[in-house]
Amino acid sequence: MIDLSKYGITGATEIVHNPSYEALFEAEMDPTLKGYEKGQLTELGAVNVMTGIYTGRSPKDKYIVMD
């Protein structure tokens, strides 16, 4: 297993790299998952995954890029 601790990831028991849509969908809809791990199927067939309250865009963050 690859050491991911330098990225703050500990306790990983499985690593999945570039899964197919079907494999990702199956993993997200696993009925044994709980909380933020679990995906929910929307009425339009998309998968909704709750990511917590501290995600998204930070409108006050500004970056200057030199071209």
Dump pLDDT digits (tens) for 8-61.
888 888 888 899 989 988 988 888 988 777 888 999 988 888 777 766 667 777
Q: Which residue has the higher pLDDT, 64 or 43?
A: 43
Number of helices (H), then strands (E), belonging to the chain: the values are: 1, 2
The helix (H) or strand (E) run that includes residue 25 is helix 21-28
The pLDDT assigned to 42 comes to 92
- What is Dmax (Cα atoms) for the chain? 49
What is the sign of the dihedral through the CA atoms of 10, 12, 18 and 20? negative
